[in-house]
Amino acid sequence: MTSIFERKTSIMASPRNALSPRSRAYRKPETVSLRGRSAVVLPLEHDIPVPPAPPGVQFTPEERKLWRQLWKGPQGHAWDESYSVPVATYVKYSTRLFAGEGAAWLGQEQRHLGEALGLTPKGMAALGWIIEGTDE
């Protein structure tokens, strides 16, 4: 029989690998000064591979499409493998909301998670990210 700790750690993200193209340590992000603060410039397009879904997570075709879009978007350039569980959770929450299956609590959790992942203007500002070609 496995303990609760063993079960929880089995779904944790893999350790960071600085030699992996998906690792932030592998990339050298461009930074600019914006209103006296340093900001990381996220490219509109990048060729970083989309990671596999976290262990135990099964996506529907719609969820897989959103997973790919998020990882191929500008914010995906800043994420590494450690973001796979929160991004998968965001995907699951979002698709339930889009299907009209969500309650208010689910919408609130999805919004907070979107901000933490830098998917909203407020979240991007908090993380010090700007998208290439924009001045804010």
Taking the domains of the chain in order of start, what are their residue ranges?
A: 22-131
Report CA torsion sign: 6, 7, 13, 19. Answer: positive
Contact 94, 113 (CB under 8 A): no
What's the distance, CA 97 to chain centroid? 18
Q: What is the pLDDT of residues 25-62, one digit of tens each?
A: 555 556 656 656 778 889 998 888 999 999 999 999 99
> First-to-last CA distance in the chain?
52
pTM of the model: 0.75
Is the pLDDT higher at 89 or at 81? 89
